[in-house]
Amino acid sequence: MVALGTIALIPDGPGAIFASARPEFSELLRTDGVQTARRVTPVPVAPAPEALAPAPATESSEDRFTREVVKRTNAERAALGIPPLTVIPKLALAASFHAQDQKNQSCRSDTLTHIGSDGSRGVDRILRTGLDVSRWAENIACGHPTPEAVVQGWMSSPGHRANILDGRLTHIGVAVALSDSGRQYWVQNFATLR
């Protein structure tokens, strides 16, 4: 059977049965490839299985990158027996606020900052999402071309490494934003919820 909108075409030997899935057109006719048609017993028409399943969502490179950063971050924790971080979309939103705000800033260490252009700190951006946290941390980076490179960079920095491996932090949100020149600006937010 092939579903064609609200009409089903059911191949059957030399002819075909045309059936409507709409009740007002419930009459079925068989054609034999000539000018004749005759009524046949109605056949239930079910939608094709692929019509029932939602179309797969297209994943952006940013989504793939952030998922990979979380995976690599949790792998670093697992290697030391530290429980994995759980992703919270609101933490990713707070990270995205800062990534979008800072993406066109210089990657020089003297201009790379945790302070937003509105004066906000990481905790301010987290609280704006409605989360109530008892502990938080933020890692930022600029110019690393891949998730592997940015996590490796953070793990090579004592302060960033401490945030990643802090077992008191239980949740994570990650964002990456591309600058106008195509450079990545990365933000990891960590938190423990109250």
3-state secondary structure labels for all residues of 50-94: HHHCCCCCCCCHHHHHHHHHHHHHHHHHHCCCCCCCEECHHHHHH
- Name residue 176's beta-bridge partners: 186
Q: Is the pLDDT of residue 7 over 70?
A: no
- Report, as an integer, the average pLDDT of 1-28: 34
pLDDT: which is higher, 6 or 180:
180
- Report, as an integer, the average pLDDT of 180-191: 93
Strand order in the sheet with 133-142: 86-87, 171-178, 184-193, 133-142
What is the model's pLDDT at position 22? 34
**Helices assigned H by DSSP within 79-146:** 89-102, 122-128
Radius of gyration of the chain (CA): 28
Lowest-pLDDT range of 19-28, 78-87, 92-101: 19-28
What pTM value is reported for the model? Answer: 0.68
